[in-house]
Structure 1
Amino acid sequence: MKVLVTGAGGQLGKDVVRVLTEKGHDVLACDRNTLDITNLEQSIQVIQNYTPDVVMHCAAYTAVDAAETDVDNAYRVNAAGSRNMALAAEKVGAKLIYVSTDYVFDGSSSDPYQEYDNTNPKSVYGKSKRAGEVLVQTLSSRYFIVRTSWVYGLHGHNFVKTMLKLGQEKPILKVVDDQKGSPTYTVDLARFLLELMMTEKYGIYHASGSGSCTWYEFTKAIFEEAGQILQLSINTELLPCSTEEFPRPAPRPVNSVMDHLFIRVNDLTDFRPWREALRDFLRELALAQETV
């Protein structure tokens, strides 16, 4: 299939391009230099010139805290940019996959969120991504909305890499223990997107690592697995703390855990346990460090 990938220079986009290419698909990898998704005319022209079967829309404004004051740009990319992708994909009859986020929920539920639960985003980032969802649903006749959470991978900055660095530098490290979610490895997410695009099972999907943990529990697992896989000497004292002790400009969902109801209902391949994926990521990281 011919697949156009937006955000191809980003953490998820790079793995999406790699997974698609390895499976023999014809991929047009678009980063911000080759496709400005906020420019409707350019978006339509690029997609009409390539005529993809699928538009894999990974590009996003993801600076959660910065979005609280950079409101216009967050909406320009996440809402208007997604509208542009939906309109351009529709003109050539392409399927559209829009990667969204757990931040569309307020996090107040004690249960995992299902795909058709009511959304109630609290942050500007979450509101802008939800706006993108609404525009995709309104303008596209062949769409998949894929909400994910706590994403990490080999490319770019992420929580796992940050904790590995701090674990070797800080004598004491405090990590929030009252926010719960599901870590998601970019390679696993990319493989799911590949499986999804081959179907016509349109709709909203929750796609994250199976199981859940707090940020503190995630960090503890990172240190334990890194000690074995990366042979790192991490001597920091890891301590749990509350959200109040670590204030951020944008509110975080207390509960980000999402139930994969629509994956099960549509007989698609569910995600493996998050800790198993973490081990694979650390092995990939070790291999990358060896080849540098």
Structure 2
Amino acid sequence: MKILVTGANGQVGYCLQQQLREQGWDFVALTRTELDISDSVAVNSAVAQYQPDIIINAAAYTAVDKAEQEQALAYAINRDGPANLARAAKDNGAAILHISTDYVFAGDATGTYSENDPTAPQGVYGKSKLEGEEAVAAINDKHIILRTAWVFGEHGNNFVKTMIRLGNSRDTLGIVADQEGGPTYAGDIANALLSIAKHYATGNTTPWGTYHYAGLPHISWFGFAQHIFAQVEKAALYNKAIPQLNAITTADYPTPAKRPANSKLDCSKLENAFGIAPSDWQSALKNISTYNS
């Protein structure tokens, strides 16, 4: 089995490369510079050249606020790109594993979101990602769409790294406390995708479709920040006191794109189908010094 990874420089793509290498997979990992997934000719050429059995699409336009202005670019990467990959995969007999987001939901429900709940994205980012999902599902029967949320890791930009950086230069930080979700470690997402790939590679009947994968326990951004700085203090990363954290509301911190108040995803379908447990983000934070770059 050969795997083709797109978006190799992203948070999940970076972890996928590490794990694929460690596990001895036959794989090719391409950055956006090496493969623009919105270019159908380039995608067809790459898939024909590498002949993968599985394509893992970790490429995405994730600048949530900028997407409101850069709509064409967001749709090109988040909708057209996955469509191109799904079509090329189908034409070559390959499966596609595609990463999506909690932003496909309105975020105003109570409880957790299941895969069957109605979608209602509130901004361009979420809308473009939903249309990407729909394209993948319509084009290639052999697909897994993996929705995740609040992704963080050692590589790239994310909330954990931002907190560490800001906390080292400020004495107080205001953190939104009325949005809740499940922080998800990028390395765990990569592991989940490869677990699905192994299931397929070993000839098992694969229950294709849409799944949720995120972290537990659910928490607010404010609570997440408290956990982050508890680990920062424990690891003595600073030559100063950790900042005072002040809980603020979404209204106190307006952004061009609306954020979901509820990003809590029900991950039981994935666990039942593949035996993959939710991300343990608290364990991932114990190596806090690896995020300090």
Q: Under TM normalisation by the shorter chain, which class is it?
A: over 0.9
**2:225 paired residue number:** 219
- CA distance in 1 between counterparts of 2:31 and 2:236 reads 31
The AA in structure 2 aligned to 1:208 is: A
Identity %: 39
- CA distance in 2 between counterparts of 1:34 and 1:241 reads 42
**2:97 paired residue number:** 97
Change (3 A) 1:171 1:154: same
**2:268 paired residue number:** 261
1:48 equivalenced with 2:55 (yes/no): no
1:236 equivalenced with 2:246 (yes/no): no
**1:165 paired residue number:** 165
TM-superposed CA distance for 1:145, in Å, is 0.1
TM-superposed CA distance for 1:20, in Å, is 1.2
**1:106 paired residue number:** 106
The AA in structure 1 aligned to 2:25 is: H
* Residues 143 and 203, structure 1, Cα contact 8 Å, conserved in 2: yes
The AA in structure 2 aligned to 1:183 is: P
- CA distance in 2 between counterparts of 1:230 and 1:184 reads 24
1:271 equivalenced with 2:278 (yes/no): yes
Q: Which runs of 5+ in 1 are unaligned?
A: none
In the superposition, the TM-score normalised over structure 1's length comes to: 0.95
- CA distance in 2 between counterparts of 1:267 and 1:25 reads 20
Alpha-carbon displacement from aligned partner over 1:209-238 (angstroms, at most 9, x marks no partner): 121110000001000011113543443211
Give the 5 Å matches for 1:42-191.
42-191=42-191
Equivalences, count: 286
Any idea what SS the aligned residue of 1:3 has?
A: strand
- CA distance in 1 between counterparts of 2:274 and 2:10 reads 29
In the superposition, the TM-score normalised over structure 2's length comes to: 0.94
CA-atom RMSD in angstroms: 1.3
- CA distance in 2 between counterparts of 1:260 and 1:151 reads 15
Change (3 A) 1:43 1:267: closer
- CA distance in 1 between counterparts of 2:155 and 2:279 reads 21
Alpha-carbon displacement from aligned partner over 1:180-226 (angstroms, at most 9, x marks no partner): 01111111111111001122221111111121110000001000011
- CA distance in 2 between counterparts of 1:118 and 1:45 reads 36
The AA in structure 2 aligned to 1:260 is: C
* Residues 2 and 26, structure 2, Cα contact 8 Å, conserved in 1: yes
* Residues 173 and 245, structure 2, Cα contact 8 Å, conserved in 1: yes
TM-superposed CA distance for 1:272, in Å, is 4.2
- CA distance in 2 between counterparts of 1:4 and 1:273 reads 27
* Residues 223 and 234, structure 1, Cα contact 8 Å, conserved in 2: no
* Residues 204 and 262, structure 1, Cα contact 8 Å, conserved in 2: no
The AA in structure 2 aligned to 1:227 is: E
Q: Which runs of 5+ in 2 are unaligned?
A: 200-205
- CA distance in 1 between counterparts of 2:162 and 2:172 reads 14
- CA distance in 2 between counterparts of 1:177 and 1:43 reads 42
The AA in structure 1 aligned to 2:210 is: I
TM-superposed CA distance for 1:26, in Å, is 1.1
Give the 5 Å matches for 1:29-40.
29-40=29-40
Change (3 A) 1:230 1:198: farther
TM-superposed CA distance for 1:116, in Å, is 1.5
**2:209 paired residue number:** 203
- CA distance in 2 between counterparts of 1:234 and 1:113 reads 38
Any idea what SS the aligned residue of 1:226 has?
A: helix
